[in-house]
A and B are shown apart, each in its own frame.
Chain A
Amino acid sequence: MKKYTNKILIITAIVLLLGMVIGYTIDFQTGYRSGRIKYEKIEKDSTQVLHFNGLDEIEAYADSVETSQGASQQNESSTEN
């Protein structure tokens, strides 16, 4: 009797591997071109260390961040429109 198990296992592994490689490539290439996969540059030194003296300064900073975020969101929505 011929032995098939090893051959089937190897063929399955190859088909699975090829499927994964081809599937991933198609997904990535189409996704990247259509903008579904975003690949953005984030600056390395975008983090900064902040120093506060007392709670008032922290609250004032938090308010300013909220205002600037709100403004940027408004800008985004206006550009989309």
Chain B
Amino acid sequence: MNINNIIKLIKAYFYENWRNDVIYSFGIMAALSLIMTIMSGSPLVTGIKIAAVVFMVYYPCRFYSKLHQPSSRIHFLMTPVTNAEKVVTGMLLTNIYFVAGIVLSVLIGQILGYGIVNMYNPDAFALYEIHNLGEFLEMQIPIHGDGVLMFFAGISIMFFAAIYFKKSPFWKLLLAGFIISLVFGAIMAGTEWLNVLLAVPAEIRNGGYYKVEHNIVTSSNWFPYVAYSVVIVYFYAMSFLRMRETEA
């Protein structure tokens, strides 16, 4: 893997996309400050959450958008760099540049919104016991602890989908997610029903309501951290593999 190639790929991305990225950033800022102004500055509008979700599902597609159009597909695949370099460049742009960009845009948008609301209604935030910008921003931080890992796990899944599907990866991922959760949910519900049938005596099972106190491994504190880390590593490894296959 050659670092110069990665830098060249990043430069090529900026050369082609910097205008759009600036427009998107200003769009996010304007939309957030507008929403906050309309909602009279209610901090319940955690705009950063909405923006994070939109970003999570859409932005990983951006770097690989060339793969989704037949005209530019060959051009992208024939770029004289290795697959690992293409995937690493995508990871760097998605996990560092896009995240930093979106967080900055959202932050500036919220500060703008806070300023506008404070100008025409200084008491708007007092209702929520917010008296200065610091308190306001503290309340707006939407994710803590394993939530951060969940966010990056979501990005890795979308990253994989952007390489895996040839067209409209976002909608196909949504559909795939829906079908997978339906199948898994049905099988798990069946498993629970069967377990209750086998373990619980009929006289308790029939009629009445039941209280099930469940305490399993998945409810422990460390589990989400391990699970999200595994998801992230798995989907980036799969992205690399799929990229190699797509080129072949």
Q: Is the C-beta of A3 less than 8 angstroms from some C-beta in chain B?
A: yes
From B239, which residue of chain A is reached at the shortest CB distance?
A5
Q: Given the known A-B contacts A28-B199, A37-B214, A39-B210, are A5 and B245 also in contact in the complex, defined by CB atoms under 8 Å?
A: yes
B212 within 8 A of A: yes
Contact B187 A17 (CB under 8 A): yes
Residue A4 at the chain B interface, CB threshold 8 Å: yes
Q: Does A32 contact B (CB under 8 A)?
A: yes
Interface status of A23 (Cβ within 8 A of chain B): yes
Complex alpha-carbon distance, A41 and B187, angstroms: 26
B91 to chain A, nearest CB (A): 18
Given contacts A8-B241, A37-B214, A41-B210, contact A25 B184 (CB under 8 A): no
Residues 212-243 of B at the A interface (beta carbon under 8 Å) = 212-217, 234, 238, 241-242
For chain A residues 7-52, which have a beta carbon within 8 Å of chain B? 8-9, 12-13, 17, 20-21, 23-25, 27-29, 31-33, 36-44
State the Cβ distance, A37 to closest chain B Cβ, in Å.
Answer: 6
* Count, A-B residue pairs, CB within 8 A: 80
**Is A1 an interface position by the 8 A CB rule?**
yes
**A contacts with B: majority SS:** helix
Instruction: Determine whether B58 belongs to the interface, using a CB cutoff of 8 Å to chain A.
Output: no
- How many chain A residues touch the partner (CB < 8 A)? 29
A23 in contact with B217 given A5-B245, A12-B234, A39-B210 (CB within 8 Å)? yes
A44 close to B180 (CB less than 8 A): no
B241 x A5 contact (CB < 8 A):
yes
Q: Knowing that A38-B211, A41-B208 are A-B contacts, what are 7 other residue pairs whose CB atoms are under 8 Å apart, sorted by A's residue number?
A: A5-B242, A24-B191, A24-B192, A28-B195, A31-B215, A39-B199, A40-B210
| Cα–Cα distance between A80 and B198 once the two chains are bound (Å) | 30
A44 engages B207 (CB within 8 Å): yes
23 contacts between A and B (CB under 8 A): A5-B164, A8-B238, A8-B241, A20-B184, A20-B187, A21-B191, A23-B217, A24-B191, A28-B192, A28-B195, A28-B199, A29-B195, A29-B198, A31-B214, A31-B215, A38-B211, A39-B196, A39-B204, A39-B212, A41-B207, A41-B209, A42-B211, A44-B208
Q: In the complex, what residues of B have CB within 8 A of residue A44's CB?
A: 207-209
Q: Is B244 an interface residue (CB 8 A)?
A: yes
Contact A24 B248 (CB under 8 A): no
The 5 closest A-B pairs by CB, nearest first: A1-B248, A28-B195, A41-B208, A42-B209, A38-B213
> In whole Å, how far is B120's beta carbon from the nearest beta carbon of chain A?
47
For A25, the closest partner residue in chain B by CB is B195
B119 within 8 A of A: no
Residue B188, interface by CB 8 Å: yes
Residue of B213, B234, B242 touching A36 (CB-CB under 8 A):
B213
The CA of A23 and the CA of B244, in the complex, are separated in Å by 35
* Residues of chain B within 8 A of A24, CB atoms compared: 188, 191-192, 195, 216
